[in-house]
Amino acid sequence: MLYNSKLVRHCHNSIFRRNVATLPKYDFTPKPYTGPSLQRTDEIKANHIPPAVHNIYRKPLVLHQGRMQWLFDHEGRRYLDLFGGIVTVSVGHCHPKVTAALHEQINTLWHTTNIYRHPKIYEYVEKLISKFPGDLKTVYLVNSGTEANDLAILLARAFTGHEDVISLQSCYHGYSSTIMALTATQAYRMPLSVPAGFHHALLPDPYRGIWGGCRDSLSQVAGSCSCIGDCVTSQKYVHQLSELIDNSIPAGRVAALFAESVQGVNGTVQFTRGYLKQAAELIRSKGGLFVADEVQTGFGRTGDAFWGFENHDVVPDIVTMAKGIGNGFPMAAVVTRKEIAEAHTRAAYFNTFGGNPMAATVGKAVLEVIEEENLQQNCKDTGKYFIEQLMQLQKQHAVIGDVRGKGLMLGIELVEPGTKKPLDKNNVSDIMECIKDLGVLIGRGGRWSNYTSKVLKCEKTKEPIVEYGKVSKFDGYQITLENTILFPAGGGQPHDKGWLNDTEVLQVLRKGDEALHFTLEPIIEGSEVVQRIDWQRRFDHMQQHTGQHLLSAILEKEHNLPTTSWWLGAEECFVELDSTTVKYEDIKTAEERCNKLISEGISVNVKFFKANDPALNEAHTRGLPKDCIDTIRVICIGDIDENMCCGTHVTNLSQLQMIKFLGMEPGKKGKTNLRFIVGNRVLKTFQKMLDREKALTALLKNEPSKHEELVSKMQKNLKLINKNLQNVLAELAQCEIDKIRNSEPKPKYFCLFKKESTPEFNRIICKGLETENIFILLASEDPDKAKEGQIYLQGPEIHCNALGQQ
Ligand SMILES: [Zn+2]
Ligand SMILES: [Zn+2]
């Protein structure tokens, strides 16, 4: 993309021109590097480090020594560490006082566990508690922020007797199978079920929040309000929180509200001023506790106060802390009121490593250094200088959409210039890389990252578009991308639709291992494009397709009815069963069984096999494309079914909502087609039926339960009326005949146009006057088609022939 290269060039130019790249002198020589080469670390990472662990730079950094604010890589390069090991190194790498204290402790005693007493823990908890206001006097020492927040949930539930816990959208409170439910950042949510009872409230973000607002920072969002005291918008965001509680949580069941004092992982997002205080009051009025997550904001980082919550004028019921507490030593803590801790005595509590002699020693030394070196004031002063400089940069560079934060917890938000659209992640990576190459390490957070890919080929094509079996002509382009998130047609599942930047993708087809994207406009080869997917369409396909897996598995296993093929249509789907004698009761039982499994929330997993894997024979194979040779995907529905498939599926049967059979009919020779719909289609169909029923109710002027009776009555009446009409018309015809027969002199011709007359009426008249030697012309109108109808001519041949022509 043109923009991409411009931006990078701009970044380099401005930096090099002003020559800000020189780091201040530092008289220190790091030890020579003796660890594995960068290439060896690549190999070890590929073989032994979990693939979910990502390194942030394109050329990974191997760091082996640190000294205060500096880090050294394997090539001896020095970096100014502004990120501090993700907001953790609070007093400097290998700070001499902390290091000396730890050395002394290591030579004295490492470990006892908390079933004994050791002096360090007592010295430490007293020191830590001196930093807290109010009744926050009881300390749990644990090992990580995740563990601290997990314990805080337990304490809040034990004390209140309530279950439901609320956190703010885009928050990060840690990573475990329980805390994943508290963390509301999609990037950290595995597509697996999480415990029930967690809710996420609207984020009061002055930059992206729907009501904007002002915050506790020198830098405000351009054009925001500048309220004195609490921001006026806080009330609106708090009202949303109360709506969440009143709508989603059983009455009187809220256990706690968790909030960071400034959201860290989300990119240093501050809340509107006054929000946290009002939210804490609300939660207490509903019977819950307020838990402050100080993992990133604690230990003086925000400058004005030792704890982030103090900036919000609120005293929490529980405070969790980690990271900065140990300057990199693995330790964390939960501080609470005594009465809350007392609710935790109904079971024993034990923690092997929490508060061990080394951790307690480090924690105490860190607190002493923060005091002795006046680091809180340093955060305030340096932070003020820093944010003022960032605000200057914002004026010069439209790519900086927002500058925010306080103390040494600062962030900038990168956007497409002149918009609030998040900057493409490749551009963000370029900027990150550029800053690292200048010798400065910073962090990157937030939830905005786009799927992008490079355009490899753009060719003209006239290949038709096939939409649910309907073929239509096409004259446009086929785009080949390096990578795609759009699913191509295959395996009975229709293709995705979506967009490449703002160009609509009308069809995606797989050719070999390439996916071709059909567009009406060309896209420049070599450019980067942002991919977006028509998610509603995709999710519908996932529901129908997974429903088919489930349905076929149950019909085959429990009713001996194997599926031979299947169809996903625009309105309905069907499976083709290899039988002509499918029993209605079997279908009903299978439907009930499928819906029971859906309500049980059975998980749907994907297993990967190499094509030659012997374990693959155990998995059931159906409909795998012949050119699929490399990695084979096997879709497993609990222990109910295993099936090779390259389609897209939901991750849990509960996402199907329900399955509904619509009926069956004979298919190809020896087959039966069983029609069905799944999920949202059931709701849509139900809506259509409801609309029809409403219309009928209005027409019949009676309730739906009477519709059948009323319609059948109307049909009977109509039959009777018709029958009577026929009789009346027949009598009328006879009258006409008698009238003519009896008239003197007898007329030579007889013409009659009777709009409503029936063929029967005309036939009777013709028959009755057959022997009278009168020329007859009869005409009538078709009741369903105006200006069309019947004409009868009867009489001497010569007249009929002459008139019939006309
Ligand atoms: Zn305001
Ligand atoms: Zn499938």
Residue-wise pLDDT tens digits, 123-134: 999 999 999 999
Considering the chain, what percentage of its residues have pLDDT values greater than 90?
Answer: 66
For residue 99, the CA-to-ligand 1 centroid distance in Å is 45
Whether the per-residue pLDDT at 478 is higher than 50: the answer is yes
- Judge whether residue 620 has pLDDT over 60: no
Q: Which ligand is nearest to the CA of 275?
A: 1
Question: What is the 633 CA–ligand 2 centroid distance (Å)?
Answer: 9
pLDDT in tens, 390-402: 999 999 998 999 9
pLDDT in tens, 360-376: 999 999 999 999 999 99
Q: How far is the CA of 62 from the centre of ligand 1 (A)?
A: 45
When mean pLDDT is compared across 441-445, 653-657, 776-780, the lowest value belongs to 776-780
* pLDDT recorded at residue 352: 94
- How far apart are the CA of 510 and the centre of ligand 2, in A? 16
Burial pattern 283-308, b for ≥16 Cβ within 10 A else e, equals beebebbbbbbbbbbbbbbbbbbbbb
CA torsion, ordered 352, 357, 363, 365, to nearest 10 deg: -170
- 316 or 419: which carries more pLDDT confidence? 316
pLDDT 10s digits, 549-605: 999 999 999 999 999 999 999 999 999 999 998 999 999 999 999 999 999 989 888
Ligand with minimal distance to 220 CA: 1
Range from 17-21, 22-26, 193-197, 741-745 carrying the lowest mean pLDDT: 17-21
C-alpha 550 – ligand 1 centre gap (Å): 53
Quote the distance between the C-alpha of residue 451 and its chain's center.
Answer: 14
**Among the bound ligands, the one closest to the CA of 547:** 2
Ligand 2 centroid – CA 211 distance (Å): 43
* For residues 483-506, average pLDDT: 89
Cα(239)–Cα(201) distance, rounded to whole angstroms?
10
- The DSSP bridge partners found for residue 603 are 652
Q: Are 418 and 398 in contact (CB under 8 A)?
A: yes
Looking at every residue in the chain, the average pLDDT score rounds to: 90
| pLDDT of the residue at 361 | 98
Distance 228 CA to ligand 1 centre (A): 8
Q: Is the backbone peptide bond immediately before 745 cis, with ω within 30 degrees of 0?
A: yes
CA of 272 to the centre of ligand 1 (A): 7
Query: In angstroms, what is the span from residue 364 Cα to ligand 2's centroid?
Result: 57
> Which residues surround the ion ligand 2 when the cut-off is CB under 5 Å?
645, 647
The mean per-residue pLDDT over the stretch 55-60 comes to 80
- Sequence-ordered strand ranges (E) for 322-366: 332-337
Average pLDDT score over residue span 441-446 = 89
Q: Residue 781's beta-bridge partner residues?
A: 789
Q: Give the pLDDT mean for 327-350.
A: 96
Per-residue pLDDT at 780: 83
pLDDT of 46 reads 79
Give the per-residue pLDDT at 485. Answer: 85
Nearest to 237 by CA among 220, 215, 219, 255: 215
Distance, CA 668 to ligand 2 centroid (Å)?
Answer: 23
Q: Are strands 476-481 and 451-461 parallel, antiparallel or unpaired?
A: antiparallel
pLDDT above 70 (res 327):
yes
pTM flag (> 0.85): no
DSSP E strand boundaries for 318-475: 318-321, 332-337, 400-406, 409-414, 440-441, 451-461, 465-467, 470-472
Residue range 276-289, pLDDT digits in tens: 999 999 999 999 99
Specify the 3-state DSSP secondary structure of 618.
helix
Query: For residue 719, how far is its CA from the centre of ligand 1 (angstroms)?
Result: 74
Number of the ligand closest to the Cα of 215: 1
For 748, phi then psi, to 5°, come to -80, -25
Q: Which of 59-68, 529-538, 542-551 comes out lowest in average pLDDT?
A: 529-538
Ligand nearest the Cα atom of residue 231: 1
- Confidence at residue 95, expressed as pLDDT on a 0 to 100 scale: 98
Q: Between 98 and 444, name the one with better pLDDT.
A: 98
- Whether the pLDDT of residue 17 is over 70: the answer is no
Of the listed ligands, the closest to the CA of 216 is 1
Among all bound ligands, the one having the nearest atom to the CA of 236 is 1
pLDDT in tens, 674-731: 999 999 999 999 999 999 999 999 999 988 899 999 999 999 999 999 899 889 988 9
- Determine the Cα–Cα distance for residues 298 and 262; give it in Å rounded to an integer: 10
Dist. CA 683 → ligand 1 center (Å) = 42
Predicted confidence band at 11 (pLDDT cuts at 50, 70, 90)?
very low
Model confidence at 614, in pLDDT bands (50, 70, 90)?
Answer: low
pLDDT computed for residue 805 by the predictor: 67
13 has a pLDDT exceeding 70: no
Neighbours of ion ligand 1 (CB under 5 A): 213-214, 225, 227, 231
Ligand nearest to the backbone CA of 487: 2
Ligand with smallest separation from the Cα of 650? 2
Give the Cα separation of 330 and 92 in Å (integer): 15
